[in-house]
Structure 1
Amino acid sequence: MQLPTDFKRLRRLRRTAAIRSLVRETELNVRDLIYPLFVAHGTGVKEEIGSMPGVYHLSVDMLRREIQEISQTGIEAVLLFGVPAHKDDLSSEAYAQEGIVQQGIRAIKEENPDLTVITDVCLCAYNPHGHCGIVRGGQILNDPTLELLAKTAISHAQAGADIIAPSDMMDGRIAAIRAGLDQEGFVDIPIMSYSVKYASSFYGPFREAAHSAPAFGDRKTYQMDPANTREALREAAADVEEGADFLMVKPAMVYMDIIRQLRDRFDLPLVSYNVSGEYSMIKAAAQNGWIEERQVVLELLTGLKRAGSDLIITYHAKDVAKWLREGCLDAQRI
C-alpha cells in the first residue's frame, strides 16, 4: 500500500520528554497556588475534617506549626477561614478584634511576615442560621449585611491581612468594602472578589469544615444559578466597576468555560477555586485505587491554568508543591 506523504507529523513535537517540555504551552508553578486553612479556638487542636482527608481544623498554636511547614514548600499565599466558638444573629465574632481569624492573621504574620495572607469575608460561619447575610423573617437581607461585611474586612486589615476576599455574594459588597477600607486608611489593601460563585453541590465538605451549613433553605437567592453564563459576566463587570482587584470563579472544575470567558473579557488577575467537593472526590477515588492521585491533580490544575486562571485556590497545594519540587511536571504522564 502506498501511504500518503503530505499529512502533518504533529507527533514530532511529542517524541521525547525534553521536546515536550520545550514546547509546553501551559506551565503550572508553585507560585500559582493558594492554600486554604481553617483556624479554630482551643490549644493543641489538629482535627482532621472527615470528608476532606489531609485537611485540618487548627488551633492558633498548631496553625503556627503549619505555617512553618508551608513556608518550606514555596507556597506564597494562604486563604484563611475561621471556625468560631460563638455564633449570634449579628455574626459578631466575624469582626471582633479578638475573633479567631484576627488571631490567626497575627499568628501567621509573626511566623512568616512574607507569606501573603488572604482572608475570607463572609458571615455564614458566624451566625446560627448559616446564611451569608443578616436574616429577618426568613429573608436574607442584602443592604444591612454590607455594613457588617465592611466591618469584618476592616478588622482583618487591622490584624495584618494582605488581601480581603469577600465570598458572600451580596450585591454591592465590593463597593462597600472598598469604601470601608479606604476610609480607615487601608487604601493599598486589594480585594479578591468571589465574583462568580455558583450555588453548587460541590460545597458539601467545606460546610462540614466551616460549620456553615444553612439552618433553613439554601443559598440560591444570592449564589448563582449553575445554568447561567451571561449572568457571570454581569457579576464580574459589576465587581470591576466597584473596585475589585482580582476576580474569582468558584467552583473551578466544572466551570472552566466560565474561567475562559472571564479571561477573554477582563484583564484583572483571575483566580479559580478548586473547591472541597472536587478535592474530596479525587481523594476518595485515589484511596479506592481507581485513579492515580498525582496524575489526576496535576492534569486538573494544568487544565485550570490552560482555561485562563492566574492563581488557583486548592486543598491539594501542599502535595502539588512537593510534586513540582520533585520535578514531576512532565512526569504527569498525561
Structure 2
Amino acid sequence: MSKQLYDRHRRLRSSTSMRAMVRETKLTTDDLIYPMFIVEGENIKNEVVSMPGVYQVSLDYLTEELNEIVSLGIRSVLLFGIPKEKDELGTQAYCETGIVQEALRKIKKEFPELITVADTCLCEYTSHGHCGIIHEGDVLNDESLELIVQTAVSQAKAGADIIAPSNMMDGFVSAIRRGLDEAGFENIPIMSYAVKYASAFYGPFRDAAGSAPQFGDRKTYQMDPANRLEALREAESDINEGADFLIVKPALSYMDIMREVKDQFNAPVVAYNVSGEYAMVKAAAQNGWIDEKQIVLEKLTSMKRAGADIIITYAAKDVARWLKD
C-alpha cells in the first residue's frame, strides 16, 4: 500500500532549535524605544495608576532609571515632558529651560550613547490640552506650526538625536524640516507621527502626561479610525516633506495600515504600541487571565511581521528582560 503524498510542513517545527532556525521574524532589544515621562520637581517617582510599571520621574531620578534601561540593552528613549505650569500657548514646550530640554542635556552628558527621541507637540504644555493655538474653539493650523518649529529647534539645541512631531497639523514635517535646517540641524532626522488615528486607546497616556483636552476632542486633526486611504495620503505627504521615519499609531488595531505603509514607502516604519494596548495586557495579567510574557512577545513580533522596523512600547523593559532570559 503506497503512502499518501502530501506536504510535510511539520518537519520544520520538530524542535525548538529547528523552529529557531527557520523563524522569519525576530524581535530584539535593538527594535525597541522606551517612552519616558519626565516631570518638573524633585524626588518624584509616581507610578501611573492606569499603566502599572510606568512612572513619572523627576530629573533627580532620571539617572537611576536610565542606568536600568542601558543595562537591559535598550538603546533608545522617547521623552515626554510634564511641566509645573501650563498656558494657552504651551510656552514650556519651547522654553530653553523646559523639562524635556533639561532632560536631554542630562542624558547626553551622562549617557551619550543613548538615542534620544523628543516628542514634539504642545498638548502636554497647553492649559487647554490641545496640540496647537486655540481661536474661538478651533485649533489653528499655520499659527500652531510656528510654535511647533520653535519646540523642535529648542529640542535639537538641547541634544535631541531625533525629532518626533506628534501634533498632526498639516505641513508640520515641512515646517520642522525647514526650521531645523535653517538653525543648522540639517542632520537631525524627523520621526513623523505620520499615521495617527483619533483612537480610544490613548486614555492611560493622557493620565501619564496630563494632556487630556479640556474641551472637545482631537478628531479635527487626528485621523478617523475607519479610514485606510487617508493614512496613505498622510504618509505620502510626510515623505514628500522630508520625514525620515513613519510612525503608525496605534499599532495593534492598525496592522493592515502598517503593512501598506511598509509596502508603499521606502522609509523605516515605527509601530507605536500605545498606552491602552499596554494597560489591557497588564490588567488581564494581574487578574491571572493571560500569560503576560507570551502575549506581549507575540504581539510585538506580530507588529514586526506586519512591517514595523522599530517599536515604541511601554513594555520595553519587560521585553528586554524576557529576551535576555
> What is the TM-score of this pair, normalised by structure 1?
0.96
Which structure 1 residue ranges, 4+ long, deviate > 2 Å from structure 2? none
- SS of the equivalent of 1:234 reads helix
Q: Compute the displacement of 1:64 (Å).
A: 1.6
1:322 is aligned to 321
Match runs of 1:1-334 below 5 Å: 5-326=4-325
C-alpha distance in 1 between matches for 2:157 and 2:58: 21
Identity of aligned residues (%): 61
Distance in 2, Cα, partners of 1:267 & 1:15: 37
Q: CA RMSD in A?
A: 0.9
Letter in 2 for 1:170: M
Alignment gaps of 5+ in structure 2 = none
Q: Secondary structure at the match of 1:124?
A: coil
CA distance in 2, matches of 1:223, 1:162: 26
How far, CA to CA, are the matches of 1:4 and 1:280 in structure 2?
A: 52
Alpha-carbon separation, structure 2, partners of 1:238 and 1:215: 30
Per the TM alignment, residue 111 of structure 1 is displaced from its structure 2 partner at its CA by 1.8
1:44 Cα offset (Å): 1.2
Q: 2:116, 2:2 → 1: CA distance?
A: 60
Which amino acid in the other structure matches residue 128 of structure 2? H
Other-structure match for 1:332: none
Rounded Cα–Cα distance in structure 1 between residues aligned with 2:250 and 2:163 = 19
CA positional deviation for 1:3: 8.7
2: distance between equivalents of 1:290 and 1:147?
Answer: 48
Q: Which moved more, 1:22-31 or 1:65-74?
A: 65-74
- Deviation digits for residues 213-248 of structure 1, max 9, x if unmatched? 010111000000000000000000000000000001
Aligned residues: 325
Normalising by structure 2, report the TM-score.
0.99
Query: Per-residue deviation at 1:4?
Result: 5.8
SS of aligned partner of 1:255: helix
Aligned counterparts of 2:173 and 2:83: Cα–Cα separation in 1:
24
Q: Identify if the C-alpha distance between structure 1 residues 15 and 100 changes in structure 2 by more than 3 Å, giving closer, same or farther.
A: same
Residues 36-66 of structure 1: per-residue CA shift (max 9 Å, x gap) = 0000011111000010000000000101211
Q: Please report how far the alpha carbon of residue 69 of structure 1 lies from its aligned counterpart in structure 2 after TM superposition.
A: 1.2
Name the CA distance, whole Å, in 1 between partners of 2:167 and 2:40.
23
Q: In 1, Cα distance between the equivalents of 2:201 and 2:25? A: 26
Unaligned runs of 5+ in 1: 327-334
| Counterpart AA for 2:320 | A
Deviations 1:277-330 (A, max 9, x none): 00000000000000000000000000000000000000000011111111xxxx
**Matching residue's letter, 2:260:** Q
The DSSP-based 3-state class of the residue aligned with 2:124 is: helix
**Amino acid of the structure 1 residue aligned with 2:211:** S
Query: In 2, Cα distance between the equivalents of 1:53 and 1:283?
Result: 7
Q: 3-state DSSP class of the match of 2:208?
A: helix
CA deviation after TM superposition for structure 1 residue 28, in Å: 0.4
**AA at the equivalent of 1:169:** M
Q: In 2, distance between residues paired with 1:3 and 1:48?
A: 66
